[in-house]
């Protein structure tokens, strides 16, 4: 009887040790999680401070298009290599969104793993397609009634740095090199101008391929 009692005490003691061990490990994991969250929060704050100098005062209204086109929508002109290569995305943009940029342009967007996101415009009056000559790490922001296009807005960069990773962007590019970029479409010349050219991202050629 005494032996059975002793065994029971030892079993209970063993269970207590295991329980305490698990509790300590769980506490350590929770502390690690909280610490990581704090580090990411600080990372986001650091990115926010660093990127403030890239927040230009320009607004979509300052580059507004005169009117929104509501006439007959032209078919995609596939005479060029760019339009043929990305016809599916461009046609989806025409069909699903209509006027999305600059008063009379539809937009198509697509992404490549390890490279980033690309886009193009389609003039709904003529069907002619125009490649956007730069790659975005995260996102494009634009409006139907404006010629201004923002690549990788500050808030998107900060949110990613704070919530996901402040060292490496999705493409593998160092986050320290990811900056918000501002472009304005020149309706007469049919091309984009970079408002902060010293920080330009990788360009792509007329067929949508990265340039050397």
Tell me the C-alpha distance between 106 and 124, whole Å: 7
Examine residue 163 and state whether it is found in any structural domain, yes or no. yes
pLDDT digits (tens, 9 = 90+) for 7-27: 444 444 444 443 444 343 333
Examine residue 108 and state whether it is found in any structural domain, yes or no. yes
Examine residue 95 and state whether it is found in any structural domain, yes or no. yes
- Of the CA atoms within 13 Å of residue 28, those in its CB half-sphere come to 6
User: What pLDDT is stored for residue 196 in this prediction?
Assistant: 66
pLDDT confidence band for 58 (50 / 70 / 90): low
Phi, psi of 40 (to 5 degrees): -65, -35
Examine residue 31 and state whether it is found in any structural domain, yes or no. no
Examine residue 92 and state whether it is found in any structural domain, yes or no. yes
User: What pLDDT is stored for residue 182 in this prediction?
Assistant: 87
- Of the CA atoms within 13 Å of residue 121, those in its CB half-sphere come to 27
Examine residue 121 and state whether it is found in any structural domain, yes or no. yes
Instruction: Give the best-scoring range by mean pLDDT among 5-9, 174-178, 201-205.
Output: 174-178
Examine residue 9 and state whether it is found in any structural domain, yes or no. no
pLDDT confidence band for 57 (50 / 70 / 90): low
Question: What sign does the CA torsion over 72, 75, 79, 83 have?
Answer: positive
pLDDT at residue 82 is higher than 70: yes
Question: In Å, how far from its chain's centre is CA 69?
Answer: 28
pLDDT at residue 139 is higher than 50: yes
Higher pLDDT, 26 or 161: 161
Tell me the C-alpha distance between 23 and 17, whole Å: 10
Q: Which of 99, 108, 167, 92 is nearest to 140 (CA)?
A: 108
Q: Which residue has the tokens 């403030």?
A: 52
* Angle (CA) 47 52 54, round 5°: 105
Domain limits for position 58? 47-199
> Hey, is 109 helix, strand or coil?
strand
User: What pLDDT is stored for residue 162 in this prediction?
Assistant: 82
Are the C-beta atoms of residues 196 and 181 closer than 8 Å to each other?
yes
Residues 6+ apart with CB under 8 A from 51: 154, 157, 158, 179, 180
Q: Which of 65, 66, 206 is nearest to 148 (CA)?
A: 65
Number of compact structural domains in the chain: 1
- Note the pTM of the prediction, 2 decimals: 0.71
Q: Distances in Å between the alpha carbon of 127 and those of 76, 98, 135, 174, 186?
A: 4, 12, 23, 38, 18
Q: Point out which residues pair with 107 in neighbouring strands.
A: 121
> Hey, is 182 helix, strand or coil?
strand
Examine residue 8 and state whether it is found in any structural domain, yes or no. no
Burial of residue 178 (number of CB atoms within 10 Å: 0-12, 13-18, 19+): buried
């Amino acid at each position: 009887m005494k032996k059975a009692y002793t065994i029971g005490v030892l079993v209970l003691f063993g269970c207590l040790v295991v329980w305490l061990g698990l509790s300590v490990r769980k506490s350590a994991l929770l502390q690690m999680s909280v610490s990581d969250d704090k580090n990411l929060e600080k990372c986001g704050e650091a990115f926010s401070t660093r990127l403030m100098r890239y927040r230009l005062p320009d607004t979509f209204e300052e580059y507004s298009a005169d009117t929104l086109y509501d006439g007959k929508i032209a078919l995609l002109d596939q005479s060029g290599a760019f339009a043929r290569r990305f016809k599916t995305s461009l046609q989806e943009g025409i069909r699903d969104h209509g006027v999305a940029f600059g008063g009379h342009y539809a937009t198509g967007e697509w992404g490549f793993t390890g490279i980033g996101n690309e886009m193009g415009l389609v003039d709904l009056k003529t069907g002619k397609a125009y490649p956007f000559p730069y790659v975005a790490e995260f996102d494009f922001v634009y409006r139907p009634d404006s010629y201004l296009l923002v690549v990788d807005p500050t808030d998107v960069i900060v949110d990613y740095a704070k919530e996901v990773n402040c060292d490496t962007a999705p493409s593998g590019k160092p986050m320290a090199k990811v900056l918000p970029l501002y472009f304005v479409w020149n309706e007469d010349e049919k091309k984009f101008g970079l408002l902060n050219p010293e920080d330009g991202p990788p360009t792509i050629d007329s067929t949508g391929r990265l340039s050397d």
